[in-house]
Structures are given as structure tokens and as C-alpha cells.
Structure 1
Amino acid sequence: MKKLLIIGFLSLFFAPLAQAQLGIKGGLNVAELTGREGESSSYKAFYHVGVFYQANIIGPLSIQPEVQYSLQGGNLKSAYTNYDSQLHYLTVPILAKLTVGPVFIEAGPQFGVLLNANQSGNLQVGFTEDGQPAYGNESRPATSNFKRGDFSVVGGVGLKLASNFSLGGRLVAGLNDINDAKNLTGINDPRLQNRVFQVYAAFQFGDGRR
């Protein structure tokens, strides 16, 4: 009897995993950096690719952790500067997913780790002899200008077009200040936050029952 109870408990615990599906995904990032005073931000097109694991919890509800390589950033422009920032992230969204027929909605937190960053365009490069800012067109590493961690919230909708193929769209809104740069006078720059609109295609391996 005791063995039967243990087997029954393990069956309940591992049942959702038995129905889980691995998948791959990728698509377009339309991203900007927001929050810097004195500079206007605009969106730039980048991309993301990744893998995910969808496990059924109960009925139409499932949980979907992912691991993605996500290139994002944006353009910042002022009266004297006009440059692009490219931020290379490893991101881990952990999403709750509700599927009704072919339609699904998903939401949850996302954790990001900055791998690398660079900036290119018309940037402040120093000061002139009389102490005025000097600007020039250059491309330079910028990893040290940004904090390594990023925390975001994710919300999105999608459509399953076939048993194993789906299309979706998401908004990824950064919550914390990712700026870690000091300007050339030694004063901290204003806050910067990531904002990314994603459009993606996904393919799941398995029987495609969800």
C-alpha cells in the first residue's frame, strides 16, 4: 500500500512534465532605450532567438520558461549627439500561458544578463582645450556603461496556426535603471530602461496536443 501511494504521488508530480513540449523560437525585436533627459529616443530593429519549455499545469493553463539571446538597444539623439546602442542580452522569461482554442495569452517576469554592448555614431569623445565638449563619429565598446542585470515584465498574445507552429507578439518593459555610466564630468547620467516589442515564430517538438 505504501509503495502504491508513493507511485501515485510521483505520477501526479511528473504528469505535467510528461506532457511538456520543447520548442525553438525567433523573430524581430523593435527596441528603444527610454528615460534619458535631454536626448530623444527612437526605435531600432534587432532580433532574438531562443528555446522554450511548455509544461501543462491544469486545463488550459501552462507555464513556459525560456532562454533567449536578445539583441536590443535603440537610438538616442540630442542637439549634438546621434548614436545607436546595441545591447546583447541573455534573457530568461518565465511566463504563465493561457490557451483557448487557437489563441493564447502569456505574461510574467523576465530576467536579463548583459553579455556585451557597443555604441556607434556621433558621440561625446572628450573636451576641447577651452573646456567645451568635443564630439566625433566613432564606434566603441560600451559594456561598462550599463548594469549587468535587467528585470522586465512581459505580456503578449499569439495564435497557433498548426499543431506545432505558432506566431506571437510581446511587449517587454524594463523596470530597473540599466544605466551605469558616468558622463565625462563624473556625474551620473539619468535613468535608462529597455523597451522591446517582439514578433516571433515558434515551433514545438512533440505531439502538439496543446
Structure 2
Amino acid sequence: MKLLAFPLAAALAVAFAPKAQAQFGVKAGVNAAEISGSDGQSSSYKTFYHVGVFYQIKLVGPLSIQPEIQYSLQGGNLKDAYSDYDTKLHYFALPVLAKVTLGPVFVEAGPQFGVLVNATQNGKVQVTGTNGNPSTGQADNQTATDQYKRADFSLAAGAGLKFGSLTLGGRFVAGLNDINDAKTLTGTNDPRLQNRVFQAYAAIQFGK
């Protein structure tokens, strides 16, 4: 949580600066997410969702800054010769984006910081047997939070259109750090794993 403190404090400082013009908003949308990896495994996208609130703070001309708080369900399917399972990763995410608006069109980019609150797996997973050799087992929404790092660092970039108080947009979020924290498993969970998310969303803004 300390990792989220600095960007949130910076955004709040700008928001409450003298003569700052800001708009509060709510948003919701679809996530097309995967967990990319390596070492002979394949990954594929799964469809999830995200919901959140944001605060757009106008700075100079078309430039503004937009901190957000999202509940974002991510994950994907991971498959290799021994495993084939879906992973769901539940995050609280904090994007802090620089935004440029020209007429109805806007572009945005910036860092995103996420905190994992829960993870589950469903399907055929690979585990270490009692003799030390790998074996497979069936997971049915099995808790797997301890196999993933709690912190996720990403870069987000997107664009969209604004029609009055309604905003329609799309965004790509690319994870930068390895989220794999498996200590006792072998196989699919061993490689470096990173989040990849395409987001499509609608938002409603309040205020001028």
C-alpha cells in the first residue's frame, strides 16, 4: 500500500490546488486480459470487467491529470504440456494518467499501480508430488493468492471520445513486473508472468 501513497498524494495535491478545475466521474467496462509468460507455455485472453471512479483535474490548455481507483478483474488462461487452467486475479488498481483533449477526442497515458486482493485457479494444474516429481491435479476455483505478488506495476495508454458528460474509451495496460510468486509449484507457474489487459469502457462525468 505504501507504493500507492505517492501517486495518490500527488493527485490530491493537484486537485486541491487553488483554481483547480475538476470533474468527478464513474466508469465501467470490459477487460480482455491475459497473463503473458514464457518457457514453452501458451496464454490466451479471457473476458472480465472493471468498475471505478476518477477525478479529472484540468491543468493548462488541453492538458489534465486523471487519477482513478478501479476494481479490476484480470487473469487469463495458461497452458503447457501438463497444465491448462484459467486464473482470475482481483485487483484494486490506481492509474494516474496525463490526458490531452482536443475537441471531443482525447489521448491518455501514465503509470498504473495495482494491489492484488484475491486470486483463484480453475482447471488442470501442475503440482509437486510427494516424491518431488511434478504431477497434475484438478483445481475448482482454488485459492491461489499466495502464488502471485501483491504489487503490480503497469503502463497504461488509451484514447476515446467525449460527448457531453458521456465518455467512451479504450485502453491498453501492460504489466512491467513479474507477478509470479510461486514457491512450491513447478511448470506453468515457474516463468516470468506479466499482466496484459485491453479495456473498453463507458464513463459519466459530473461537474464543469
Is TM > 0.5 for Structure 1 vs Structure 2? yes
Q: In the alignment, residue 181 of structure 2 is paired with which amino acid?
A: D
Instruction: Measure the CA separation in 1 of the matches of 2:180 and 2:133.
Output: 24
After superposition, the Cα gap between the structure-2 partners of 1:114 and 1:184, relative to the gap in structure 1 and judged at 3 Å, is closer
Aligned-residue sequence identity (percent) comes to: 65
Q: Normalised by the size of structure 2, how large is the TM-score?
A: 0.86
**Per the alignment, in what secondary structure is the counterpart of residue 181 of structure 2?**
coil
**Per the alignment, in what secondary structure is the counterpart of residue 19 of structure 2?**
helix
Instruction: Measure the CA separation in 1 of the matches of 2:112 and 2:191.
Output: 23
| Alignment deviations for residues 56-78 of structure 1 (CA, whole Å, 9 cap, x no partner) | 00111000000000000110011
2:18 aligned residue: 14
2:135 aligned residue: 134
2:182 aligned residue: 181
Contact (CA 8 Å) 1:94, 1:108: kept in 2 or not? yes
Q: In the alignment, residue 47 of structure 2 is paired with which amino acid?
A: A
**Per the alignment, in what secondary structure is the counterpart of residue 58 of structure 1?**
coil
**What root-mean-square deviation, in Å, do the aligned CA atoms of Structure 1 and Structure 2 show?**
1.9
Structure 2 stretches lacking a partner, 5+ long: 1-15
**Per the alignment, in what secondary structure is the counterpart of residue 79 of structure 1?**
coil
Q: Normalised by the size of structure 1, how large is the TM-score?
A: 0.86
Contact (CA 8 Å) 1:36, 1:189: kept in 2 or not? no
1:54 aligned residue: 56
Contact (CA 8 Å) 2:180, 2:193: kept in 1 or not? yes
Instruction: Measure the CA separation in 1 of the matches of 2:185 and 2:29.
Output: 37
2:8 aligned residue: none
Instruction: Measure the CA separation in 2 of the matches of 1:184 and 1:56.
Output: 48
Structure 1 stretches lacking a partner, 5+ long: 1-11
Instruction: Measure the CA separation in 1 of the matches of 2:186 and 2:200.
Output: 40
Contact (CA 8 Å) 2:126, 2:186: kept in 1 or not? no
Contact (CA 8 Å) 1:183, 1:189: kept in 2 or not? no
User: Please, which of 147, 158, 166 is the counterpart of residue 145 of structure 1?
Assistant: 147
1:78 aligned residue: 80
Runs of 4+ in 1 over 6 A off after TM superposition: none
2:192 aligned residue: 191
Q: Does 1:41 align with 2:43?
A: yes
